[in-house]
Chain A
Amino acid sequence: MTSAAHRAAERVARDSYGRLVAFLAARTRDVSGAEDALAEAFASALKSWPEDGIPTNPDAWLLTVARRRQTDAARRRQTRTAGEVHIQLMTEELEEASAQPEAIPDRRLALMFACAHPDIERGMRAPLILQTILGLSAIDIAAAFLIPPTTMGQRLVRAKARIREAGIPFAVPEREDLAARLDAVLEAIYAAYAKGWTEIGDTAAERLADEAIWLGRLVVSLLPDEAEAKGMLALMLYAEARRQARRDANGAYVPLNAQDVDLWDEAQILAAEALLHEANRAAGSTGRYQIEAAIQSAHVARRVSGRPNWDSVVALYDVLLNLTHSPVALLNRAAALAETDGPEAALASLDAIADDRRMENYQPYWAARGHLAARAGRKTEAHEALTLAIGLATDDAVRHYLIAQRATLRDD
């Protein structure tokens, strides 16, 4: 069995699984119940499909197995009388759906909106989407989010109970509410991607990045008119295209401006550029993901012209800053500003967030301050800032890079 066959089978199984969970849970609002009904079917699919091949109708296959396994579970649960009506309903649904699986409506988007509802704790939205749509286990999710598995499991259970108790609707919001609510869905998916992006060299995290991109594609395919969804997918693809270039042969950290352009994945960059182009042509206002993707596009211009388009980068960060007022945007703008107006101007621009409590423990803030101060020749300040950045680093490669940066302060 090749790993490619395994990946393909897993992908199809996840696709069907998410569709079936969404379909079943949409009616009952019981995500756990829907998962229970499908869990074993999903597990046996992951076992047998890579060897026996993917069935012609994966949905029907999963439903048939789920129905068979369900009888036992139903009997066990029937002692709890409250569950009876629900079991009855679910059995009927499974039977009905397996009779004509091609007619199962795709409710995954509605399920994502339920998982990203304001009533669900913000930090749990991404894990919940990953579990319900992709069928990832709490252990996988916990590994990627660096949380103890039992804690993650308990939080997922609580979040699902919340959906039922609070009567959170399984629906794609109406046109006028869509933009605001879609933000939460995109934010959850992008949070999953960002996790997979920062925790480098970790297989659980790399897989998470893949899954986030897949979810991004799903949202784009289900909501083809939403420019921001395309913008977010483009943003993820730009970042993903540079994955190989972020570490050198010895595993050392390579900053963006020193990356070998030949290591960038051209196919992914072209896909990102095409998506961004489509997003920009769409009607409506331009959101943060499109702007951030445009910034990435200006950075990768180095691929063709040999140097990034720093003026565009600064201008785009200005737009982003106006939109989000995010200290992270200001921080990234400062790095670009150093290229156009010099390090002193860049340092001065950081004064606006110097008192922001969130920056105190934010490693990239101190790393940026350190780099800019070093370029401005302010060695003591640079040493202090880089020391804090080293102390706050969680990634060994980044830590070593910063230590090397600090060491160069002594050389001249």
Chain B
Amino acid sequence: MNGADAIVKCLQEEKVEVVFGYPGVAIAPVFDSILSSGIRTILVRQEQNAGHAASGYARITGKVGVAIATSGPGAENLITGIATAFADSIPLVCITGQVDSRLMGSDVFQEADISGAVESFVKYSYIIRNPEDIPRIFREAFYLASTGRKGPVLIDIPQDIQHAKMESFVWPKQVKMRTYKPTMQGHAMQIAKVLTQLQKAKRPILCVGGGVLLADAKKEVRDFAERYGIPVVCTMMGLGVLPTGHPLFFGMVGNNGQLYGNRAMNEADMIIMAGCRVADRSISQPDLITSGKVLVHIDVDPAEIGKNAGPTIPLVGDVKCVFHDFLTHDDLSIDCGDWVETLNGYRRQGEKRREATMKLALAEKTRMKWVDPRAFVRGLSLAMEDNAVYVADVGQNQLWSCANAVIRDGSFLTSGGMGTMGYAVPAAMGVKIARPDLQVVAVCGDGGFQMTMMELATMKYYGVAAKIVVLKNGWLGLVRQYQHFSYHDRFSVTDLGEYPHLDMLTKAYDMDFIRLTDNDDIDKAVQQFLADEKPVLMEVDVDPNVLA
């Protein structure tokens, strides 16, 4: 057995079924060993997409996603995938080849200090110096990635370590890390404090973030909200925790959120933040929104608590454990009076306004060319299966999706923290590879799509039947919109033009293509788009003047 065999054995011990990657000389021993391992390999067309695909895979399975790249440029390309995963706390183990140990530090061909480069956006980065350390380091890496606040871990392995003969392979029975012990259970006294406050509150609200999904606590949170009739809002990463139409769900908050969601937050007298960071896009002025309110902040990462807003009651712990504990108290008397009814009023108003805007937009065909993207994403999401996965890219398409897509029992995935354009196509591919039984749709703009469209080849090669929507308006729409508001329509370097012709592009990949140019055809086109189990690309022509 050599080091590479040991690495593959580690992956088997961790029950890794699929890896996404791109080979090169410095990682060739691992790819050689993996060939006969039974682990499925997906050759992406650029390493960044291995990171995103592994991220999609991890988010839908709850397992650790694995991406493998070679040294130097391979590892460097992976960086965007790693940083994107870090910003959204997605568990990945990224394996990179490295030049021979004795050459490290001498600037030889394809050498880059990847471990140093990613230091600020991984949970940990390892360089393996001794083949005997392989089992321990892999065991630790998977443990680090998947526990506490999840995130990417990088393992850099010099080529000579991959070739080195190993005397024995001992898989550690347990992880012994003296320095790493995440707090899972919430403190009983803090939990009691929260529940006491909750019984005093007249207008409580639960604000849920991506941490709820990462902790697999959707059910617990929903049970708790339903048992006591507590209204719920979410951040972008928390979309999907409650279905869009749930009577207690009042939409997404933040500068791209629903007016009625923000209003609910403003008027609440007690806010329970669960698994969210109180980040700038959700809560732009934490001091303002929390003044005069009881703020409870539940997070597995103690450093997030108090970073952006000082909570009245900090509660460190895993969201699932904490809500499980909340639910064991069944003697609470919580009376919110007509609070939910008030919020329902706001929501009705908001929805009415939305319908009216949409109607107007659809009627004004002369001003509004082509397809209204808001009506389209709504129509698309309504036609999708209940448990479908909606993967939004970044830009206007993302904001239209957040505001208008209807999510039922499925998932909504996007790059929230980092806002990485080009996330949707490779992430959707990763999701579909993990769960071929689910309907998976990536919704992109024409900017983001072109950043990772080379993955159409991967999808076709492996028969990955994810569906892709490109909302095409010929512009970098969200930046254009920003230039419209902040630079008086001086549109600098945001014009994408008409290329590529997506009909011809899909032809190059033998892929089905649909073009939608008229609002009246939305339903028909969407039906056709979703009909068969094969990859399809739908171009939706959108007026660049529609704002998000």
A binds B: no
Interface residues of A (CB under 8 A from B): none
Interface residues of B (CB under 8 A from A): none
